[in-house]
Amino acid sequence: MKCHHLDLVHESLNLEVTQAVKDAIVIGYRYIDCAHVYGNEKEVGDVLKAKIYEDVVKRQHLSITSKLWNTFHRPDLIEPTRIRKEVVFFPHNADNTPALSNADYVDTWKAMEALVSKGLVKNIGLQNKLNAIHIFLKRKLSEFCIQKGTLITAYSPLGSPDRPWTKPDDPKLLEDQKLGELAKKYNKTLAQIPAGPWSTIVISKSVTKSRIAQNSEVFNFKLPPEDIDYIDTFDYNGRICPMLSIETSSYYSFHILF
């Protein structure tokens, strides 16, 4: 299925988000990536409700993703009974170290499965920021997920160059010479190559109408196997979001192969 995906992160102002969702729905986006921590889910919901009422889009044609924030991983907190407004998203101990949850993510997953059984959600998944730039994704991870019937969604598919913790020697995707060669070859922008027709689901972030439209123009070309193999050589074996502040957690998973 050809489906455009829009990511709406908390850096975007609510008024910008409102207009971005309006533009995206009209352009043809049908997958909206949200999260409680972004602080704009109400605005997103208001726009979607209006567009459904205006008969611009039907609800069954929309996929809307949210996230179970880390402070709600305990099984008894997973099914919401009220609107969560006052939330400390990043709790700290007295010594200013992160206050880590003792909830076992296996128990969290089981409780989320119950939400599917109750019809409260259609599907569930895992957000682990396994390797944030999907074209740098380890081939072993990709092959493993394909074998298990698991779809990968690319978080920060353009490398999130404005992330606060970036280091000078981190790879800069939008300045990559090899990727630029492919963009020139297919008469695409450099950003459209990693957002193109991959087996990975790509969610692009923008509040600018022209870029939202540009990000959707990726279904009219296809990379042959040799170019995909060429891109596989880009694998930097790194993570854009290593979450080092919680490395002391017994459930920190980034020490494993993938």
What order of strands is seen across the sheet that includes strand 63-65?
Answer: 63-65, 29-33, 4-7, 204-205
With the CA atoms of 69, 5, 171 and 186 taken in that order, what torsion angle do they form, in degrees rounded to the nearest 10? 170
- Please name which of 11, 54, 68, 61 lies closest in space to residue 32, comparing C-alpha atoms: 61
Task: Tell whether 147 is covered by a domain.
Answer: yes
Q: Is 0.75 surpassed by the pTM of this model? A: yes
**Which residues span the domain enclosing 234?**
4-246
Q: Determine which one of 38, 53, 186, 230 is catalytic.
A: 38
CATH of the domain at 53: 3.20.20.100
Domain total of the chain:
1
Task: Tell whether 254 is covered by a domain.
Answer: no
Position 2 scores a pLDDT of: 45
3-state secondary structure the chain: CCCEEEECCCCCCHHHHHHHHHHHHHHCEEEEECCHHHCCHHHHHHHHHHHHHCCCCCHHHCEEECCCCHHHCCHHHHCCCCCCCCCCCCCECCCCCECCCCCCHHHHHHHHHHHHHCCCCCCCCCCCCCCCCHHHCCHHHHHHHHHCCCCCEECCCCCCCCCCCCCCCCCCHHHCHHHHHHHHHCCCCHHHCCCCCCCCEECEECCCHHHHHHHCCCCCCCCCHHHHHHHHCCCCCCCCCCCHHHCCCCCCCCCCCC
Is-catalytic flag, 53? no
Task: Tell whether 218 is covered by a domain.
Answer: yes
Task: Tell whether 40 is covered by a domain.
Answer: yes
Give per-10-residue mean pLDDT for the chain (258 aa): 52 76 93 85 92 95 89 87 67 88 90 93 76 52 82 76 75 81 90 72 83 86 84 69 80 72
Task: Tell whether 237 is covered by a domain.
Answer: yes
Position 132 scores a pLDDT of: 42
| Per-residue tokens: 192 | 């459209």
Task: Tell whether 197 is covered by a domain.
Answer: yes
